[in-house]
Amino acid sequence: MASAKSGKTSEEKNIAQGFSWDEFAVELAGSASGPLNLGAACTDRHVAAGRGDAVAIRWIGRHQDRRNIGYDELAAWSGRIAAVLSELGLGHGDSVAVLLDRVPELYASALGIWKAAGVYCPLSGAFGPGPLKARLDVGQARILIASEDLYLRKLVSSRAALDGLRQVLLVRAEDATGPLPEGCLDFKALVDGATPMAAHSTKAEDPAFLHFTSGTTGTPKGVVHAHGAVLGHLMTGRAVFGLTEADVFWCTADPGWVTSTAYGVIAPLVCGATLLVDEADVEPRRWYGILHDEKVTAWYTTPTAIRTMMRFGAALARSYRDNSLRVAASVGEPLNAEAVSWGAKALGVPFLDTWWQTETGAIIIANAPGQGRRPGSMGRVLPGVEAAVVRCEDGAAQMVTDADTVGELALRQGWPAMFSRYIGGDDRVGKCCRDGWYFTGDLVRRDADGFFWFVGRADDMIKCGAQQIGPFEVEGMLMDHPAVAEVGVVSKPDLLLREVPVAFASLNPGFEAGDALRAELLSFARQELGAALAPREIHFIAELPKTSTGKILRRALKARAVAELDGNELLPDLPPCPGRFDDE
């Protein structure tokens, strides 16, 4: 990429001055280049520092049963799991797939896999048999740790076809009786009988975890991260969430999503905080109660969950406004300004947007506390990372230095949490990594104060005549209308203009789908955006299709947009995501 000024603000330059990733390596490993093991960094070092009695995980079951796990217990438990895996023949860098819900065994298994120098590969229980088998194959999983229920429902029929899978360890329900399925081992019995082993001496560049991702378009790909990624999680845990040993941190991500690994396991534990885990899925009244009763100080969730809570109304939220929250953040897709300010009104703290991808491994851009914020923006780039806005001209990438100019977000390679490689034997690395830069595929603009604003995925842009339309800009405007709960904007083929934007909207309670509301929304869009950007059609839908982690599944919407649609009737529900796609 052609050299040019980086376009950093003076404040960004001041933050970057004197910053060194080596300081975090020294804190965790004793030296800038010494052995670094994720499992030990998250547990054993806290025990060695005399904090073994501190609560590492506070778990709440679906039926409100509870369990507190101290750092000493978690260190010993993960050490026993590591010993079992090693005894079963797990080699350095071998992959262990984990198919569990948000149960304590999930977190102890991740730590034990890292201590045994294995690669942790979590799978989502939302996937069907086909996608699970494909991920086990591509990931070359040697051992599977799964709940007995999920294994019997989704994988038992595939076991014989998984040539590389050597062992299956099942986590059984407490009231389970009868023999285990053929060829399976009892996870609890093996672990309870083991003696904890010390963590293997792994290097920062050794592989540690593997996630499959496709975002909302394209085919899934395996992304590998190394033990050194923990440096990024330690830094962002402090810089974005301000995590200390006094904090209670709650991350709501699905276990199969990279956010669950990075910020639902690693970041809070390496920072020495208490990780709150709720086994149940989103339920607003339950969540409000957890925020209040468990004295959650830092909360990381998704725009979909936020919008779900917003639909229950501000009155319910205000009844729980007396809480301990000091920071609430969002991840997964852009957060519109209305949701940011709703958090401040309803919960006492604004939701802060964060940006990162599976490939980046950790948060890269954020509205971090103390650094200023712009509702609706992605935030500013964090220390230790260099970001640029680039445009391709004459086949070469050129940095954009002018404020508010749209281009692709690129990151200079070399931050610790950056992915090591893709798996699957394709050339994706060559497509996204060039000349020392990682090209994200996201179109953004950076304002004069250094805040980044999301425009859209490069492959989601709508080419309407000579106009390039970013779906998020249209979606954000429509969300300002009180009737709209959620909205997805996609392109529809047009003979004259090539493509035109069309919107699919679900409604808040109290609003009725029909021609009158459709006309009102179209008029509202034209008034706010102008005729060139406004959607040409608006279709009402009970619920938008989403990936397993809550992103709007634009593929499904686009398929409906290109079909012959009757704009005068309520569309039937789209089928749920079939479990073939993971999320970034």
Q: HEC profile for 334-386?
A: CCCHHHHHHHHHHHCCCEEEEECCCCCCCCCEECCCCCCCCCCCCEEECCCCC
Instruction: Say if residue 187's pLDDT is above 70.
Output: yes
Distance of CA 336 to the CA centre of its chain: 17
pLDDT tens-digit profile of 286-338? Answer: 999 999 999 999 999 988 888 888 888 777 877 787 889 999 999 987 887 88
The predicted model gives 380-402 an average pLDDT of: 87
pLDDT at 566: 42
Which element (helix H / strand E) includes 437? strand 437-446
Chain-wide mean pLDDT for the chain?
Answer: 86
The model carries a pTM of 0.81
pLDDT at 203: 95
Instruction: Say if residue 375's pLDDT is above 90.
Output: no
Burial status of residue 398 (CB atoms within 10 A of its CB: 0-12, 13-18, 19 or more):
middle
Q: Kindly indicate the confidence band of residue 468, based on its pLDDT and cuts at 50, 70 and 90.
A: low
CA distance 574 to 386: 41
The predicted model gives 168-192 an average pLDDT of: 94
Q: Give the whole-number percent of the chain exceeding pLDDT 70.
A: 89
pLDDT tens-digit profile of 277-287? Answer: 999 988 888 99
pLDDT tens-digit profile of 472-489? Answer: 778 888 988 999 999 989
pLDDT at 18: 73
The predicted model gives 78-85 an average pLDDT of: 98
The predicted model gives 149-161 an average pLDDT of: 94
Q: Kindly indicate the confidence band of residue 427, based on its pLDDT and cuts at 50, 70 and 90.
A: low
- Print the SS3 string covering 157-196: HHHHHCCCCCEEEEECCCCCCCCCCCCEEEHHHHHHCCCC
The predicted model gives 386-404 an average pLDDT of: 85
pLDDT at 373: 82
Q: Please report the domains of the chain, with CATH numbers, ordered by start residue.
A: 462-564 (3.30.300.30)
Instruction: Say if residue 548's pLDDT is above 70.
Output: no
Q: Dihedrals φ, ψ of 415, to 5°?
A: -75, 150
| Contact assessment for residue 120 and residue 114, using Cβ atoms and an 8 Å cutoff | yes
Stronger pLDDT, 345 or 570, i.e. the higher one: 345
Instruction: Say if residue 580's pLDDT is above 50.
Output: no
CA distance 390 to 367: 22
